[in-house]
Amino acid sequence: MQYKMLGNSGIKASVVAMGTWVTGGGLTWDGVEDKESLRAIDAALAAGVNFIDTAPGYGWGHAEEIIAKALKGRRDKVVIATKCGIWWEDNRGAFHAHLDGKDVYISLRPETIQIEVENSLRRLETDYIDLYQTHWPSKEPDLTPIEDTMACLMKLKDAGKIRAIGVSNVSLEQLEENGACGPVASDQFRYSMLYREPEAHILPYCRQKGLATLTYMSLEQGLLTGKIGMDRVFKETEFRSNADWNAWFKMENRVKVLKMLEGWSDLTEKYSCSLAQLVIAWTAAQPGVTHVLCGMRTAAQAADNAAAGSLHLDEAEVARMRADAIALGDPE
């Protein structure tokens, strides 16, 4: 496993990190069992992963509680990243979505952040959070100035409740403003070989400024593992059933992706790796990418994904895979 610094925080974290949206369960992810989630965390740690990313919104706090159970007696061995800004206790904030029967708001008000951090510390059964990230940027009609949010986060850092500050899902302009208001260690955003938009501005900026980058959906919610065939149908409650969320799951697009993946059988043979490992290693090899977040539903999946942290691809093959992905064009 490779390890890299989280920006200027002094925290060293595994290049392959465990994402825990699926760990939270709920209607969004069907059939997730806590026992299997605990085994998955154990397997990830055994394979060298020391970086776990979560959020209160993942199962409405349940993912954080599962992480606490898994890390009993070894909290100091793991870098925990969680988030603030997804709020459902009342209607403070700007309406975001209706999920699992709840009205969800985005609030980066200092008053709600103060409540959120205490809730996360309690659920995680810890007295500090290594990386505390804003989950989504504030928006109208409840726009909190970035300066106010950052001032609140810096107070939490000074108090020792958090060790480093990160942002997620922000524009370049918002990222720059956050950095102008205080020390930002990382930026988390969607990025994959099928979704390369951050290459235009975000990745070059982070590379220039020495910020850590945490990419999510780099396996396109499992599609790039090659294990989701044409016969796979998702329940209506699952995000993967929503073509507006990820058009690559449409049948006419899925068949193209599967054909591309089939064309890399020589690479999986050469490196004795799975397609998932190949794609994770490709993602980690991209300029500016420092950490790749991967969902790990089972122990086997955790061990497989973690092994990608030790896989180094030849430059020519990284370029070949990029060319193949570009050749797919945009999803229909």
Angstrom distance (rounded) from CA 246 to CA 267: 26
Confidence of residue 51 (pLDDT cuts 50, 70, 90): very high
Each residue's pLDDT tens digit, 293-321: 999 999 999 999 999 999 999 999 999 99
Residue 86: beta bridge partners? 106
Cα dist. 94→152, 173, 213, 279 in Å?
Answer: 19, 20, 27, 36
Q: How confident is the model at residue 241, as a pLDDT?
A: 66
User: What is the rounded average pLDDT for all residues in the chain?
Assistant: 94
Cα–Cα distance for residue pair 314/104, rounded to 1 Å:
44
% of residues, the chain, pLDDT over 70: 96
Q: Where does the pLDDT of residue 277 fall: very low under 50, low under 70, confident under 90, or very high at 90 and above?
A: very high
Active site residue 58: yes
β strands within 15-152, DSSP E: 16-19, 51-53, 79-84, 86-87, 94-99, 102-106, 129-134
Confidence of residue 28 (pLDDT cuts 50, 70, 90): low
Average pLDDT over residues 321-327: 98
pLDDT at 31: 67
What is each CA distance from 237 to 30, 58, 98, 297, in whole angstroms?
8, 15, 12, 18
Domains along the chain with CATH numbers: 3-224+278-313 (3.20.20.100)
Residue 203: what pLDDT?
98
Q: What is the pLDDT of residues 112-163, one digit of tens each?
A: 999 999 999 999 999 999 999 999 999 999 999 999 999 999 999 999 999 9
Check 58, 105, 132, 216 and give the catalytic one.
Answer: 58
Provide the strand spans (E) within the chain: 3-5, 12-14, 16-19, 51-53, 79-84, 86-87, 94-99, 102-106, 129-134, 162-168, 186-190, 212-216, 291-295
What is the mean pLDDT of the segment spanning 40-56?
A: 98
